[in-house]
Amino acid sequence: MKKVVILVGPSAVGKTTVGHAMLEANPRYELVRSVTTREMRADSFGSEYIYISRDEFEHHIKTGGVLEYTEYAGQLYGTPRWEIDRITSEGKVPLLILDLNGANSLYHAEGISPCTVYLYDELDVMEERLRARYISENTSPEDQRRYDSRTAQNVEDFSRMAEYEPFIYRFQKNCSTVEKCAEKVFEIYSEFENDVPKDEASAKATANALIASARVKM
């Protein structure tokens, strides 16, 4: 079984920032590049993507080469098994930043043992971050749509946490700094790597608390 670390969490929680901090702090971790059917952009040198045709992508889906995938704006994006194989063969730890559906797919993927860490914060905190990101005096209709969609998705994800909790190894509330959050994830993975079992009672209690906070917003 190939062990991997997966960061998941609501919009504006900072999971991508934490992931990059982990990569900078510890060379043992390497980001798993996504495979995509979109065209390569001019600024894509050293990109986090692997570019293939749609026919190739669909072939990899059928043969198990793509472990999870989604479609956005008519293009496919997914996690290639061969990237995880390459990283683990080099003695490194594969790091993925996924949504909840992607993390669920990895949890059920053959030959993969995921340490899924759910980073979270208060819904109001993330709503304010999204507001700062998208809302201004000259907010475009598209930015308003993104703000509305992502705040609503955060509430929905919290409300469905009972469905997601079974494949989450650890819930981790945001720390005071990105560096501290990265260090927490390192500690969590160290426990996972040493076969420390999931704390089921703690996970269920946190999931129930997130569900309760979502109900206030609904």
Tell me the per-residue pLDDT of 77-128, one tens digit each, with 9 for 90 and over: 999 999 999 999 999 999 999 999 999 999 999 999 999 999 999 999 999 9
113 vs 36, 65, 125, 195, CA distance in Å? 23, 16, 32, 11
Question: In the chain, pLDDT over 70 holds for what percent of residues?
Answer: 98
Which CATH number fits the domain that encloses residue 30? Answer: 3.40.50.300
Position 41 scores a pLDDT of: 78
Position 44 scores a pLDDT of: 55
The structure tokens listed for 90 are 């080099």
Position 45 scores a pLDDT of: 54
Task: Look up residue 52 and give its DSSP letter.
Answer: -
Could you read off the pLDDT of 2-46 as tens digits, one per residue? 999 999 999 999 999 999 999 999 999 999 999 999 988 765 555
Overall domain count for the chain:
1
72: containing domain: 2-217
pTM: 0.94
Give ∠ CA 169-167-201 in degrees, rounded to 5: 55
Pairing of strands 49-51, 66-72: unpaired
How many Cβ atoms from other residues are within 10 Å of residue 92's Cβ?
A: 14
